[in-house]
Amino acid sequence: MSTIIEIQGLTKKYGGLVALNDLNLEIEEGSVFGFIGPNGAGKTTTMRILTTLLKPTSGKVWVAGHSVNDDPRGVRRAIGYMPDFFGVYDDMKVWEYLDFFAACYDIPTEARAGMTDDLLALVDLGHKKEAYVESLSRGMKQRLCLARTLAHDPQVLILDEPASGLDPRARIEIRELLRELKDMGKTIFFSSHILSEVADVCTSIGIIEAGELVAYGDMAEMKKQLRAHRLVQAQVIGDTTPLQEFLLRSDHVTSITGSDEADIPLNAVQFDFSGDDEALSDLLNGMVANGLRVISFHEETGDLEDVFLQVTKGIIN
C-alpha cells in the first residue's frame, strides 16, 4: 500500500505552549487510523493542520500527495473533514443542507439531486430528506455531518471525535458507517477518547500525550509488544490442582494464578508463558496426554485500555 498521509517533524506552538512537538506519522491508503489521547493532547490541533485550517510552526505535511503548506487547495479537494462540533444551518431542510455543501464544491446542479439521495441512503437518513435539520437527534446530525464530508467523494476522511456524546445505538451506527466507508476504499483518520470504539474499527493507532506521539503502529502488534510474556488461560473439568502441578513442571511457564486469586472462571488457571506458538501448542498437547480434561485454552490479548495506560503518564499541557 502507498502512503496517503505523511507528517514529518510537525510542531505547533502557541506562545510558550507547545501543542505539538516533532510529530511524525505515515498513514497507508485504505487504512482506518485511530488517533487517541486525552483532551488537550494535541489531536484537534493535528487535524486542523491536516485540513489546512491551522498553519504549523514547523514541519511538513502531505495529504494525497498535496502539501498542506504549498498546495492547500489540493488538500481540501482530497479530504472530507468532520469537526468535533456540528456546524449547521438550522432553518435548512436535510436535502438543502447537503445540496448547499455540494454546490460549495462546484458539483453541477444536475448531479446534486441524485448525489443527495445516494448520500442520505448511505447514512440511513432518506426518510428525513424533507425534515428540518434542527429537528434531528444528535446521532442523526452526526450522520448528516458525515454525509456532508462525502459530498465531493474525497479520498481521505478526517473525523474529529465522530462518536462523541452519542448514545450507544448511535455510536454503533457511526461505527458501522466507518466500516462501510473503509470497504468503499476511503482512508479514515479519526480521533477519539472512547477506546473501545477505536479498537472495534481501526487497523492502526497512534497515542498522543502532551503533544508527543508515545505509541504508534498496528494495534495487534502493539498489544503483543507491551506484554513481556503471553498470558494464557486454561480451564479443565474438576479440580485444577493436577493442572497447576503440570504447569509448574513445564518450560516457559513463569507464574500461575488460580480462580480463587483473581477474576478467573471456576476450574481455570491463568499463567504467564514465554514460549512461541509451537511451544504453546506442545503445552496443550502435553496437558491432554497427561489426562487433563481441557475444555478451554486461549491466550488473553488484553485490550486498548491496557495499551493506553501503559504508554501514557497522565500529563496534560
Q: What is the pLDDT of residue 261?
A: 66
* DSSP category for residue 134: G
Sign, CA dihedral 39-42-45-46, equals: negative
Partners of 196 in beta bridges: none
159 neighbors 174 (Cβ within 8 angstroms): no
Q: Examine the pLDDT at 266 and tell me if it is beyond 80.
A: yes
**pLDDT tens sequence across 197-229:** 677 788 898 989 889 998 888 876 766 655 556
* Interval 289-310: pLDDT, tens: 999 999 999 987 655 666 666 6
DSSP string computed for 32-89: EEEEE--TTSSHHHHHHHHTTSS--SEEEEEETTEETTT-HHHHHHHEEEE-SS----
Q: What angle do CA 130, 131, 136 make, to 5 degrees?
A: 150
- Name the CATH architecture for the domain at 3-218: 3-Layer(aba) Sandwich (3.40)
> Is beta strand 79-82 parallel, antiparallel or unpaired with respect to 156-160?
parallel
Which CATH architecture does the domain made up of 228-299 adopt? 2-Layer Sandwich (3.30)
Mind listing the pLDDT tens digit for each residue in 23-81?
999 999 999 999 988 888 899 999 999 999 999 999 999 999 999 999 999 999 999 99
Domain ranges for the chain: 3-218, 228-299
How confident is the model at residue 109, as a pLDDT? 92
For the full predicted model, state whether its pTM sits above 0.85: no
